[in-house]
Chain A
Amino acid sequence: MRITEHPILEFQRGEEISFFFNGQELKGFEGETIAAALHAAGVRVLGHSHVMHRPRGLFCAIGNCSSCLMDVDGEPNIRICVEKLKPGMRVETQQGKGCLR
């Protein structure tokens, strides 16, 4: 779901592009964060807590809380709430704490 009209804010979206989330092709707008694109596509569970393995969603949305860490183009622990979307990006949910490669 996206807000298309807002009484105060103006949305200056980039071009519509496609990216991959866990192998599945999704659409988003260039220049928005990965988290925004996933949220618009209905993705709510972004990871699981390390000890109790409970689902974790978008929490702080400003790059502080580590709730939305994902593996992006092979690099682990990317804070997708502040990382901008690019065409063809491969975004994967992380199992455990992310692996250095």
Chain B
Amino acid sequence: MKKSANVVIIGGGITGCATAYELAVRGVKDIVVIEKQYLSSGATGRCGAGVRQQWGTETNAILARDSVKRFEGMNEELEYDRDIEFKQGGYLMVSYTQNEWNQYKKNVAIQHSLGIPTKMITPQEALEIVPHLNIKGLIGATFCQSDGHANPFHVVDAYYKAASRLGVKFETYTSVTGITREKGKVTSVQTSKGDIAASMVINACGYAAGTICKMVGFELPLYPQRHQALVTEPVEPCQGPMVISLHHRLYCQQTPHGSFIMGVGDPNEPKDFNINSSWEFLEDVARQATTVLPLLKNLRVVRQWSGLYDMSPDANPILDEVPDAKGMWVAAGFSGHGFMVAPQTAVLLAQKILGQNCFMPIERFGLERFSGGELLLESAVV
């Protein structure tokens, strides 16, 4: 392994790999990505893989809107030899309560102000988009056709290959054991394969970002939250959009392969690093999914897994330099939607680090908002 580097990126998920690429493509040499296991072994490879622009805060909506454009051209842009499987079947966000519907109206107003073409539709119109939707008690839905989902493993692979061609080195199965500071500046990273001298470190470890920050004595306001998911046997295509019901805590999509991927959030999930799978989840998700989408009742489950959201207090990411550790940047706290915003998060971070003009104000994602600043409270998280 290299003894020194210009930039060390910790975390080989979508955020780490995309940031490595965006820095390299802007001319940064000597970048090393350190990954504890294999690429996309953390939250990226365990996520629901959705890509939506229908957010309730401007910050999330802008990142997602611009990332969709990147996903659309990603195979070509990254000269990927496979396919990231970006399917723009839309996102149908269904609302079964008046409170939720009122919130959706506010969210859609924000989305329209940013040019995101979300439509507010009636239950009957929703039925035309998803014929097997249960519209009993449905008040309305919002639909955005250009939302969709992509294959996280392929997206990471695309960034990995593109970054490698630009000279980025990836060290997998390598753990970070410590970070050294001198006079308030980061100087080196200790790993299980040796030390790397570096004046810039990017902490893109998702739920483990807090652990890394503690190495320089900083408490990151993040907490891990387990989310479980399952995948079914494949059937012929019958559901275009990702269906989300916040009321049922459910999301459910059909992949291009034909299998359904779905999950439900558990409001009683403790703040813990536990990623075991539970039978309670199977019962819960089956009940919610067959309530909203009764057609799926006979689908067989192939496998279940779980992963950890890196929850920030306002469900918006943290993109900032750590106080008292100059050169150490945090890109974490994505709160369950890091995958879909990663292409533009990486651009924003690279622009900031290199002193270029940022396409949106990065200060909004700063750490100061947790110590007296204004929080960016996001309502639309599953």
B233, A99: Cβ atoms under 8 Å?
Answer: no
Interface magnitude class on chain B? 10 to 19
Chain A residues near B (Cβ < 8 Å): 66, 75-77, 96-101
- Inter-chain CA distance A76–B234, complex, in Å, is 10
| A96→B236 contact, CB < 8 A | yes
Check A97–B238 contact: CB distance below 8 A: no
Contact with A along B293-325 (1 / 0, CB 8 A): 001101110000000000000000000000000
A97–B298 CA distance with the chains assembled, in angstroms? 14
Interface check B258, CB cutoff 8 A: yes
Q: Does B360 count as interface, using CB distance less than 8 angstroms?
A: no
A98 CB contacts on chain B under 8 angstroms: 235-236
**Is A77 a contact of B300 with CB atoms below 8 Å?**
yes
The 18 sampled A-B contact pairs (Cβ below 8 Å) are A75-B298, A76-B235, A77-B235, A96-B236, A97-B234, A97-B236, A97-B258, A98-B235, A98-B236, A99-B235, A99-B236, A99-B238, A100-B132, A100-B235, A100-B295, A100-B296, A100-B299, A101-B295
Bound-complex Cα distance A96 to B233 (A): 13
How distant is A76 from chain B, measured CB to nearest CB, in Å?
Answer: 6
B residues in contact with A96, CB < 8 Å: 236
Give chain A nearest CB distance to B377 CB in angstroms: 38
Residues of A within 8 A of B296 (CB): 100
A35 to B232, CA, bound (A): 23
- Listed in ascending order, the chain B residues whose CB lies under 8 Å from chain A are 132, 233-236, 238, 258, 295-296, 298-300
Residues of B within 8 A of A101 (CB): 295
Tell me the dominant secondary structure on chain B's binding face: loop
Q: Determine the chain A residues whose CB is within 8 A of the CB of B234 once the complex forms.
A: 97
Are A77 and B233 neighbours in the complex by a CB distance under 8 Å?
yes
**CB closest chain-A residue, reference B299:** A100
B132 — which chain A residues lie within 8 A by C-beta?
100
A65, chain B: closest CB distance, angstroms: 12
- CB neighbours of A66 from chain B (8 A): 233
**Cβ–Cβ < 8 Å partners of B258 in chain A:** 97
Q: How far is the CA of A101 from the CA of B233 in the complex (A)?
A: 15
Q: In the complex, A38 Cα to B296 Cα: how many Å?
A: 29
Given contacts A97-B235, A98-B235, A101-B295, list 19 more A-B pairs with CB under 8 A: A66-B233, A75-B298, A76-B235, A77-B233, A77-B235, A96-B236, A97-B234, A97-B236, A97-B258, A98-B236, A99-B236, A99-B238, A100-B132, A100-B236, A100-B238, A100-B295, A100-B296, A100-B298, A100-B299
Distance in Å: Cβ of A80 to nearest Cβ of chain B: 14
Minimal Cβ-Cβ distance residue in A for B238: A100
Residues of A within 8 A of B236 (CB): 96-100
Distance (whole angstroms) from the CB of B293 to the closest CB of chain A? 10
**Closest Cβ–Cβ distance, residue B202 to chain A (whole Å):** 39
Q: How far is the CA of A76 from the CA of B238 in the complex (A)?
A: 13
In the complex, how many angstroms separate the beta carbon of B57 from the nearest chain A beta carbon? 36
Query: Looking at A76, A77, A98, A100, which has the most chain B CB atoms within 10 Å of its CB?
Result: A100
Q: Which residue of B lies closest to A95 (CB)?
A: B236
Q: How far is the CB of A20 from chain B (nearest CB, A)?
A: 21
Residues of B within 8 A of A77 (CB): 233, 235, 300
Distance in angstroms from A82 CB to nearest chain B CB is 12
Chain A residues with CB below 8 A from B298, complex form: 75, 100
Cα-based distance from A97 to B232 in the complex (angstroms): 12
B51 to A: closest C-beta gap in Å: 24
Ranked nearest first, the 8 interchain pairs of A and B with the lowest CB-CB distance are A99-B236, A97-B234, A97-B258, A97-B236, A98-B235, A100-B235, A97-B235, A96-B236
